[in-house]
Amino acid sequence: MEDSSSCSSTVTGLSQVSFLQRTLERLSSTQCLKLQPEEAAPVAVIALQRYLSEPTEGQQQPDSYSYDVTVTDGVWRAKCFVHPSLNHLVHTNTLRTGADISITQCTFVYNERRLGHGYICIEKLGSGAGRSAVLPRIKDVSSLPILVKHGMERSVVLQSDVPLQVSRKHYLSLWNNDDPEGDIWTSGSPTSDTVLDVSKITLLSSLESSFRNTWKSLPLLVKIIHKSRLRYYGKFGLKIDYPYQAYFEVADQSGTMSLVLWNELCPEFYQRLNVGTVLYLQNYTLKQSYSNRSHPQMDHHRMKTFNSVEICLNPRNPASVITVVSPKILFEKVLHVMFVSYRSELEKQSNSFACDIIGLVTFVGRVERVKSKGNKEKYWTYRWIHAVDGTSDRPFILEVFSSSQPEIFSRICPMTYLVCTQMRVCQVEGSLPYLTSSCETETFITGYHKGQPYVSDPKVKSFIQWTKTLKDNLVLQKTAVGGHYCYPSPPQKSQAPLVSVADLKRELETLQYREHKRLAIQGQITAVRYMKNPKSTEGSGCGISLTTASRCITGAAALLRCTLCVLIKCHWLSLFLPDSDVLSWESSSWLKQQQEASEHLCQGGLYQGSFSRRFTFNEKDVLLQWSNLQPTHWAPEQTADSISSVVCPGYYQVTILGINKQIAVDAAYFPVVSSDMPRAVGLPQNPHGNTMLSCLSSGFLCPLTDSASHSESTLPEPEDILRTASELEDMHVMCILDLCHLGGDNVEVLISKLYRVTEVCLN
């Protein structure tokens, strides 16, 4: 009999000692392998993939999603299952690609319902800090053999881009459900040269009239004029292999109608079907239109819209036949007409008006995530962008959500030509309007414009001519990437819903990687400290909350108390201990109040990731990597360069004591100081006296410096501002806080506005 403890691959004669190979051999003789620290050699994470969890008999519903992690020790690659108890490490980006981990406990799991299938399940691990020690030694990760237990070499699952839990057929994007992910998504297929019998086709107009009568499915010849993002409707327990749906608007010479692509037809066709694609459709079905979905603005097409029924393309019962044909075959009447809006026209447009825009990108914010209102486990990914078109001295302010175009969304950077279609106008009282994505929005950047129907639009041509008058070096001086950014600023009179400080603590503890939330709490400002440097993002950091056991019993300042608590809990954190040079203010009652408070949440602060960077072409790739989300697959360029530290302009650490004086929280106040800062755009700039209160209320120091005008105005010194902080003594205030999880234990907590209670609209 063959030794079942051995491992095999297509590559033989490997002389290096392999930790992964040795671990797999040891798992043949034990149910659970626990490794001592000296045994657990580091392995590098080269892929981290997410999919819908598999139902298990007799088990309560686990997390909705499971994770497979591919690791390497430099000799072998092994795809392993991440035990659900470790999912929180993915949620906080602690377990991430490009980093080393130490496997300290694992098991080997056989699939009892399938022969020849099993995998390593990682049950406990330690995460390394800093750069990987393994990856720099590897020239080509893809050339490393895949570690497979002897007897399982023929398992297609273990060798393919599919989940280890075999009831699932595909992976999801790591950070949202809207982007195509994996090898199953087909793109770039050529059009068919099939000779079509157009004498038998029917028109869209006849479908609506014959829907409720005896109806025979005759072929359709239509052109796509709008494309929506993907919708993933999978949920735990749903037994559909590819639960996807995508809407298209199609047209022929009689009018327009909605078309729906269902299930496994989405991976096969979604990326092949674009605006301008002509389709010959057979074996489709009709159903009554879904009334609650959004629709693109189509008045500019000047065509009749048939909205009572929609065309359904299904993989079976019946199996629809989709043929992509040459666009020249369709009638010239069906054209895509752009309705580009100039920036100078934006203030005139009504709220929710839909428009297409083109602009030169000057600012790209970091990619953030926000929970879907209807699903607590579903996230949208988005980023803020500024773009100019030469018709106004103000940029477009764009809230761009992922539109199932990950290769474009992740490559948006300053100095690129950006086109966004079907954007919706959001008018803001007292500030500049902005545009936000709709379900039908598509984005295109330099390198993706060729062949698009808008290239001949007169406004697009006019924009291109304007850009030729610009000097790159001057435009580059006004560019920025990443950092904290949130729009619009809170209004002058707040109507924000309040949460308790205890609720804020729970939000901080459950916040996931790059998730953004805006909350309001009430209380009083008890201490303000001027900080010259951001917090370090290296290492594991500290936890979110500090317990009553860490309550300070001395008369030390707030920061010393926080630092002591952190050292007790985490044994490590690099912070600026109080000394005679520290600029700070404390209320007269804070010493007594901090002794009586039960908790002090010390996480608030700024990190290197909180500050935007100037864009340069030389640093383009590393800036894009830094501002995007952690990738699913590791690539060598991830560790080629690291972003340089930014010089911190200084900020204020503000301690807010909850209204019931039980919990205090630290938050950072990072004022806008220059009109060149992205956050200055659209910020109401009513003059004020630069007191601590007026600065916290307005969000900026007055007046803003302006490099373009070479003004000689000087900003107030921190000590001058802190000298006025005594007016905050015992003042009842409401603070608007912006939270963002930056990965690991680093949570950004910023004050975006402070209100006195007299300025708040009471419910």
Q: How many CA atoms lie within 13 A of 421 on its CB side?
A: 27
Is 562 a residue whose pLDDT tops 50? no
Through-space distance between the first and last CA atoms of the chain, rounded to whole angstroms = 77
DSSP state at residue 288: E
* Matching residue, tokens 């629709």: 295
DSSP state at residue 388: E
pLDDT at residue 696 in the model: 97
Q: How many CA atoms lie within 13 A of 459 on its CB side?
A: 20
Please, is 578 exposed, middle or buried when counting C-beta atoms within 10 Å of its C-beta (0-12, 13-18, 19+)?
middle
In the chain, the percentage of residues whose pLDDT exceeds 90 is: 65
- pLDDT band, residue 641 (cuts 50/70/90): low
Q: Which amino acid is it at 497?
A: P
- pLDDT band, residue 639 (cuts 50/70/90): low
pLDDT at residue 579 in the model: 45
Contacts of 535 (CB under 8 A, 6+ apart): 575, 605, 606, 607, 746
* Matching residue, tokens 């390497």: 72
pLDDT at residue 410 in the model: 96
Q: Of the given ranges (167-181, 487-501, 693-707), which has the lowest mean pLDDT? A: 487-501
Coil vs helix vs strand at 312 = strand
pLDDT at residue 624 in the model: 95
* β-strands 118-127, 77-82 pairing: parallel
pLDDT at residue 365 in the model: 97
How many whole angstroms separate alpha carbon 435 and alpha carbon 356? 10
How many whole angstroms separate alpha carbon 701 and alpha carbon 706? 12
pLDDT at residue 57 in the model: 61
How many whole angstroms separate alpha carbon 465 and alpha carbon 461? 6
In the chain, the percentage of residues whose pLDDT exceeds 70 is: 86
Is 528 a residue whose pLDDT tops 50? yes
**For residue range 602-620, what is the model confidence (pLDDT) as tens digits?**
866 789 899 999 999 999 9
Coil vs helix vs strand at 507 = helix
Angle at 124 (CA atoms; ends 121, 128), nearest 5 degrees: 115
Is 115 a residue whose pLDDT tops 60? yes
Compare 128 and 333 and report the one with higher pLDDT: 128
- pLDDT band, residue 100 (cuts 50/70/90): very high
pTM of the predicted model as reported, rounded to 2 decimal places: 0.90
- pLDDT band, residue 1 (cuts 50/70/90): very low
Cβ atoms of 533 and 559 closer than 8 Å: no
Contacts of 163 (CB under 8 A, 6+ apart): 49, 51, 66, 68, 157, 169, 170, 171
Compare 653 and 579 and report the one with higher pLDDT: 653
How many whole angstroms separate alpha carbon 674 and alpha carbon 480? 13
**DSSP count for the chain of H helices, then E strands:** 14, 33
Mean pLDDT in the chain? Answer: 86
Q: Which amino acid is it at 301?
A: H
Cβ atoms of 135 and 639 closer than 8 Å: yes
**For residue range 187-214, what is the model confidence (pLDDT) as tens digits?**
766 666 667 777 789 999 999 877 776 6
User: What are the tokens at 66?
Assistant: 């499971």
pLDDT at residue 297 in the model: 83
Q: What is the mean pLDDT of residues 697-720?
A: 84
- pLDDT band, residue 752 (cuts 50/70/90): very high
Compare 573 and 77 and report the one with higher pLDDT: 77
DSSP string covering 548-610, please?
Answer: GGG---S---HHHHHHHHHHHHHS--------TT--EEE-TTHHHHHHH-SEEE-----BGGG
Is 154 a residue whose pLDDT tops 50? yes
pLDDT at residue 582 in the model: 77
Instruction: Kindly report the number of other CB atoms within 10 A of residue 449's CB atom.
Output: 15
User: What are the tokens at 256?
Assistant: 């327009």
Cβ atoms of 194 and 292 closer than 8 Å: no
**For residue range 282-318, what is the model confidence (pLDDT) as tens digits?**
999 999 998 888 888 887 777 899 989 999 999 999 9
Highest mean pLDDT: which of 557-561, 583-587, 703-707? 583-587
* Matching residue, tokens 């052109």: 223
How many whole angstroms separate alpha carbon 601 and alpha carbon 505? 8
Instruction: Kindly report the number of other CB atoms within 10 A of residue 509's CB atom.
Output: 13
Q: What is the mean pLDDT of residues 503-512?
A: 94
SS3 content of the chain, % helix, strand, coil (to 5): 20, 30, 50
DSSP state at residue 571: S
Q: What is the mean pLDDT of residues 76-89?
A: 95
pLDDT at residue 561 in the model: 38
* R_g of the chain computed on alpha carbons: 29
Cβ atoms of 594 and 740 closer than 8 Å: no
How many whole angstroms separate alpha carbon 248 and alpha carbon 251? 10
**For residue range 162-194, what is the model confidence (pLDDT) as tens digits?**
999 888 999 999 999 999 999 899 776 666 666
Compare 489 and 638 and report the one with higher pLDDT: 489
Compare 220 and 549 and report the one with higher pLDDT: 220
User: What are the tokens at 718?
Assistant: 């921190």
- pLDDT band, residue 6 (cuts 50/70/90): very low
Q: Of the given ranges (173-177, 250-254, 521-525), which has the lowest mean pLDDT? A: 250-254
DSSP state at residue 213: S
- pLDDT band, residue 407 (cuts 50/70/90): very high
Q: How far is CA 370 from CA 412, 739, 750, in A?
A: 20, 11, 17
pLDDT at residue 371 in the model: 93
* Matching residue, tokens 């029924």: 309
Is 566 a residue whose pLDDT tops 60? no
pLDDT at residue 124 in the model: 96
Q: What is the mean pLDDT of residues 724-751?
A: 95
**For residue range 422-472, what is the model confidence (pLDDT) as tens digits?**
999 999 988 999 999 999 999 999 999 998 888 888 999 999 999 999 999
pLDDT at residue 537 in the model: 59
How many whole angstroms separate alpha carbon 208 and alpha carbon 211? 5
Letter string b/e over residues 595-606, b meaning 16 or more CB atoms within 10 A of that residue's CB = eebebbbbbbbb
Q: What is the mean pLDDT of residues 484-493?
A: 90
- pLDDT band, residue 543 (cuts 50/70/90): very low
Q: How many CA atoms lie within 13 A of 657 on its CB side?
A: 26
